[in-house]
Amino acid sequence: MVSAGEFRNGVTFELDGQVMQVVEFQHVKPGKGAAFVRTKMRNIINGGVIERSFSPTDRFPTAFIERKEMQYLYKEDDLYYFMDTETYDQTPINGDKLDDNFKFVKENEIVKVLSYKGNVFGVEPPTFVTLEITDTEPGVRGDTATNVTKQATLETGATIKVPIFCNTGDVIRIDTRTGEYLERAK
């Protein structure tokens, strides 16, 4: 059990049958009246964000989220197949459980499969990935203005903005949390 007075960013707990994760919290002690905890929470299963206030003494059951490393194998129709690297068991996961940042994951990449009480609800890709640019316009010689970007298609099919000096065939690093170009890979 976790009390509202113990809330910190990242704490997961059950609220009305839903699994919630604290995104932001603030302990408020007004001049008059009782103290309370103002929280912003994200529903782990459906991604919805809500704000709510609690008494510091309110208690909730702790929710333990299992993060298991698995290898992404392939996609067939709307199912994505993942393999447990220890037991070699394959697990199909429906595409609607994958976040938008999964578009940066290529086959054979190691990811974290998130589950609660045996039910898979999401896949967490690596924070940084290295991908090749398969299609982009060539940079114009002399166009050296700062922060000029252009569209580029990556080997996974995702499109992002890259600096003008990047060309087809370049290998780049990407932050999967934001979908932004970081640097050329060496």
The second-level CATH assignment, the architecture, of 2-60 is: Roll (2.30)
**pLDDT tens-digit readout, 44-79:** 877 789 999 999 999 999 988 888 999 999 988 889
Q: Residue 106 contacts by C-beta under 8 Å, 6 or more apart in sequence? A: 72, 129, 131, 155, 156
Residues in the chain: 186
C-alpha closest to that of 176 among 123, 133, 107, 125 = 125
Report the chain's C-alpha Rg in angstroms. Answer: 21
- What confidence score (pLDDT) does residue 124 get? 87
Query: Would the CATH topology of 66-124 be identical to that of 129-184?
Result: yes
CATH class for the region spanning 66-124: mainly beta
Q: Residue 15 contacts by C-beta under 8 Å, 6 or more apart in sequence? A: 41, 60
Q: Tell me whether strands 119-124 and 2-3 are parallel, antiparallel or unpaired.
A: unpaired
CB contact at 8 A, 112 and 68 = yes
Determine which of 102-106, 109-113, 143-147 has the lowest per-residue pLDDT on average: 143-147
Of residues 117 and 59, the one with the higher pLDDT is: 59
- What confidence score (pLDDT) does residue 44 get? 82
Average pLDDT over residues 132-138: 89
- Give burial (CB, 10 Å; 0-12/13-18/19+) of 4: buried
Terminal Cα distance for the chain, rounded: 48
The domain segmentation of the chain, as residue ranges, is: 2-60, 66-124, 129-184
**pLDDT tens-digit readout, 140-156:** 666 666 678 889 999 98
Q: Residue 69 contacts by C-beta under 8 Å, 6 or more apart in sequence? A: 85, 110, 111, 112, 113
The second-level CATH assignment, the architecture, of 129-184 is: Beta Barrel (2.40)
Q: Residue 182 contacts by C-beta under 8 Å, 6 or more apart in sequence? A: 128, 172, 173, 174, 175
- What confidence score (pLDDT) does residue 120 get? 84
